[in-house]
Amino acid sequence: MRHPGLLASTWVLFRKDLLVEWRSRSRINALVFFSLATLLLFSFALGPDTALLRRNAGGYLWLALLLSSVLALGESFRVERENAALEGLRLVPVDARAIFLSKGLANAVLLVGLGILLVPVLVALLDVRLVLPWPRLLVLTVLGCLAIAAPGTLYGAIASHARARDVLLPLLLFPILIPALVAAAKGTALVFEGDPMDQLNSWVALLASFDILYWGLGVVLFPRVVEE
Amino acid sequence: MAGMLKRLWNSAPVAAVRAFAAHPLVQRSFVVFTVAVFVYAAWVGLTQAPPDREMGDVQRIMYAHVPMVQMMLLAGTILFVCSVLYLFRASWRTDALAEASAELALVYGAIGTTLGAIWGRPTWGVYWAWDPRLTTVAILLVALAGYLALRRFVDDAERRAVWASVTAIIIAADVPIIYFSVKWWKSLHQVQSNPRTVDPQMVHALRWNITAFFLVFIVFLVVRYRIALAARLREVTVPDAQPRAREAVAS
C-alpha cells in the first residue's frame, strides 16, 4: 500500500478538523459569545471614555482572540483525547507532522474567522475607524492567528495529557506569545490610527518571523510530543 | 565523538579525579571553601571597594546583582543544552540536570531582578522600567515558572522529560524575538557591568563576587541534580528493586 504524502494527509485531516468543528457548532457559538463578552468587559473595566477605548481597540481585539484561543485549543485536543482518537490516527499510520499542520491550520482558520467577526463589533462598539486599507488588517489577523496557533497546538497536545491542563495551557502559552501579541496589537493599532512613521511593515516582518520559527519548530518537535 | 568522550571519561587520570571529587570529605571541604570565599567576597564588596562617585553606597548592590544575573544566564544555557541533548539521546542524568538548572535559573533570575529593582529605585527613580532587557528577563521568568509547573503536572517520567525538553527549546527560541519586540515596543538600562566596563578599583570586588556566586551555583546545582536524579530513579524503578536500583541504572 502506498502511503499518502505529507500534504495530502494534512489536507484530509484539516478537512476532518473543520468538519468536526462544524458539526458541533455549539462550541463555535460559545467561542464567539465568549470573545464578545471579553470585548464588553474591557470596555466596562476602563469606563466610558470613548477616546481611550478607541485608542486601545487593537489591544482589546488581540486579548479577546488570545483568551478565546486558549478555549479553542483546549477543546481541539479534548476532542482527540475522547475515544483515543489521536492514538487511532497515529496507528493508521498518519505522519505526526501532518497532524500538527492540520490541527494548527484548523485552529488558525477558526481564530481568523473569530477575528473577522470581532472587527465590525469593534467598529460599532468602540467607534473604531480603519484608516489604512482593510487588506492590511486581514494580513495582520492571518499572521497573528498563525502565530497563536503554532505554539498553541504544540502546547495544547502537551497540556491535554497533563493534570490541571486548563491552568497549564495558558501558563505555558502566554509568556511565549508576548512578542506576537505586541506585534499584532501594535500593527492593528496602526491600521486603526494611521501609520505616519511607516512602522507597520516592521511589525508584520516580526510577526512573520515568529510564524516561520514556530511553525518550523512545531513540525520538528510535534512528532516527539505525541510519540508513545 | 561519543565513544571518544566515554573513553576519556573512563581513562585513569579522569577516573582518579572523579573518585577524588566523589569523596564525602572532599565535597564537604568544597562547601566550606565556598562559604569562605563568599564571606570574603561580601566583605570586599561591602567595605574594601570604593563607593560610586554618583550613586554612593547603593552601587554595592552591583556585586550581588551582576553575578546573580550571570548565573541565571549560565543556568538557562545549561537548561537549553540539556534539553536538546535529551531529545537526541534520552538519559535520566540530562533530565535531572535540566530540572536542577531550570529551578536555579528561576531563583537566580528572581533574586537578580529584585536586586535590580532595589538598585533602580534610588538611581533611575523607579523600581521598574519597560527596558528591553528587563522585560525580556521578566517574560523568561514567567515562562520558566510555566516550565516547572509542567514538570509538576505530568506523572509519567518519560513523557515529562520529553515534553519539558520541547518546552525549554520553545522558550529558548523565543528569547531573541522577545528582545526585539520589546525593544521596538518602547530604553534606560545602563550598559551591562562586567569587569571590563567598571572602574579598576571595583573590578577586584566584582571578580571575587562573581567567583563566589559561581561556587555557590555549583554547590546548589550538584545538590539539586542529585536530588532530581534520585527522585527520577525512584520513580522509574520497581519498588522491590529500589535499594540496589541506583547501582543498576548507574552502571
Half-sphere exposure of A68 (CA within 13 A, CB side): 30
Tell me the DSSP string of B72-126: HHHHHHHHHHHHHHHHHS--HHHHHHHHHHHHHHHHHHHHHHHHHHHHHHHHHSS
Domain span including residue A177 = 6-226
- Assess if residue A1 is contained within a domain: no
pLDDT (0 to 100) of residue A127: 83
What is the reported pTM?
A: 0.86
Cβ contacts of B89 on chain A, cutoff 8 Å: none
Residues of chain B scoring pLDDT < 70? 1, 186-197, 238-251
Name which of A162, A167, A176 is nearest B174 (Cβ-Cβ).
Answer: A176
Determine the length of chain A: 228
- Assess if residue A164 is contained within a domain: yes
- Assess if residue A139 is contained within a domain: yes
Q: Could you tell me which of A156, A70, A140 has the C-alpha nearest to residue B170? A: A156
pLDDT (0 to 100) of residue B188: 46
- Assess if residue A148 is contained within a domain: yes
**What is the mean pLDDT of the segment spanning A59-78?**
91
B88 shares contact with chain A (CB less than 8 Å): no
Judge contact between B157 and B148, C-beta under 8 A.
Answer: no
Residues in contact with B58: Cβ distance below 8 Å, sequence separation at least 6, in sequence order: B52, B119, B122, B123
**Number of structural domains chain A divides into:** 1
Of the ranges A14-28, A111-125, A212-226, which one carries the lowest mean pLDDT score? Answer: A14-28
Q: What is the pLDDT of residues B162-173, one digit of tens each?
A: 999 999 999 999
CA distance B127 to B115: 10
Cis peptide bond prior to A93, omega within 30° of 0: yes
In chain B, residues 2-61 whose CB comes closer than 8 Å to chain A: none
- Assess if residue A40 is contained within a domain: yes
Q: What is the pLDDT of residues A135-164, one digit of tens each?
A: 899 999 999 999 999 999 999 999 988 888
Cβ contacts of B148 on chain A, cutoff 8 Å: none
- Assess if residue A92 is contained within a domain: yes
Cβ contacts of A155 on chain B, cutoff 8 Å: 167, 170
CA distance A55 to A47: 13
For residue A214, name the pLDDT band (cuts at 50, 70, 90): very high
Q: Which of B153, B154, B158, B175 to mutate to test the interface with A (most CBs of A within 10 A)?
A: B153
ipTM of this predicted complex?
0.88
Judge contact between A187 and A204, C-beta under 8 A.
Answer: yes
- Assess if residue A49 is contained within a domain: yes
Judge contact between A70 and A169, C-beta under 8 A.
Answer: yes
Long-range contacts of B116-121, Cβ-Cβ distance < 8 Å, separation of 24 or more:
B116/B65, B116/B69, B118/B61, B119/B58, B119/B59, B119/B61, B119/B62, B119/B65
CA distance A20 to A18: 5
pLDDT (0 to 100) of residue B251: 47
